[in-house]
Amino acid sequence: MKIKNVIFENKQYFETIGKIHSSDQLSVMDAYRINRLVKKLNELNTEYDELKKKIFTQYG
């Protein structure tokens, strides 16, 4: 079985989103939207990591 997920496997993507999230140049609305995006991506990344570990331990 081959697992490929470009967003969650690419750590540079999360570093870039983190830099955007901590930028002082965002408007209030943009900062709010980025914050919601970051929270959702973190939730999905956690779920992805748990499922990936479960599959690897179950099927090796």
pLDDT (tens digit per residue) in 4-53: 667 777 778 878 888 888 888 889 898 899 889 888 888 988 998 899 89
At 2, the pLDDT band (50, 70, 90 cuts) reads low
Task: Look at residue 50 in the predicted model and tell me its pLDDT.
Answer: 93
Task: Look at residue 9 in the predicted model and tell me its pLDDT.
Answer: 75
Burial 35-50 (b: 16+ CB within 10 A, else e): eeebeebeeeeeebee
- Check: CB of residue 21 under 8 Å from CB of residue 36: no
What is the pTM assigned to this prediction?
Answer: 0.69
